[in-house]
Amino acid sequence: MDKVRPAVFLDKDGTLVKDVPYNVDPDRIRLTPGADEALAELHRAGFLLVVVSNQSGVARGLFPEAALAGVWKRLSDLLAPVPLAGWYHCPHGPADGCDCRKPKPGMLTRAAAELGIDLGRSWMVGDILNDVEAGLRAGCRAVLIDNGNETEWVRGPEREPHFRVRTLPEAARVIRTSA
């Protein structure tokens, strides 16, 4: 498939939705303030919107992988009529050595191959430096939503975002004006 469209890859917990650890209850999912308007703005600007989320609760036995279907449906419903082009998740734990768990870029590169995404014109938005690193390793630009969720601050050349903002609406404005 030709790589023709730019995308914005979005971390789920703490970026797109309020962070409730290991939550797969659709009724408890709440968008972060302004997320619906921010994604509508990005969609109107021509970006595909793709959620990429580590879900180690599966590997830890906290919930079955099938439970994530309800999360995806809830997010799609909350964001309608703005379409999410894809939902990618890593069900592995931190020590599993997979290629899909952020900070590795596997979810982003898989989405690019499946959805025809031009990674060089795309962005990764997340609330921790592992999100930033995944985006940069995939060849995207990265925005860190500095909302207090990053607690380790392990620095490195692949962990420096292009922009640092406080909210998803701010990230959308930065992306639109820098694209």
What is the pLDDT, as a whole number, of residue 157?
87
How many domains does one find in the chain?
1
pLDDT at 4 over 90: no
Residue 28: inside a domain, yes or no?
A: yes
Query: DSSP characters for 38-61?
Result: HHHHHHHTT-EEEEEEE-TTTTTT
**What are the residue numbers of the active site?**
11, 13
Taking a C-beta distance cutoff of 8 angstroms, is the pair 74, 31 a contact? no
Quick check: 87 pLDDT over 90?
yes
Alpha helices, DSSP H, located in 46-146: 68-79, 106-115, 129-138
Which residues, listed in sequence order, are joined to residue 34 by a DSSP beta bridge? none
Residue tagged 């430096």 (tokens): 129
Calculate the average pLDDT of the chain.
96
Helix (H) or strand (E) holding 122: none
Residue 105 within any structural domain of the chain: yes
pLDDT in tens, 131-163: 999 999 999 999 999 999 988 888 898 999 999
The tens digit of pLDDT for each residue in 20-65 reads 999 999 999 999 999 999 999 999 999 999 999 999 999 999 999 9
Residue 62: give its domain's CATH number: 3.40.50.1000
Domain of residue 81, residue span: 7-178
Rounded to 10 deg, the angle between the 106-115 and 129-138 helix axes is: 50
Q: How far is CA 2 from CA 108, 116, 119, 136, in A?
A: 16, 6, 12, 21
116 belongs to a structural domain: yes
Conformation bin of residue 20: beta by default, left when phi > 0, alpha when psi is -120 to 50 = beta
63: in domain:
yes
Residue 1 lies in a domain: no
Q: Which of 5, 16, 7 is nearest to 149 (CA)?
A: 16
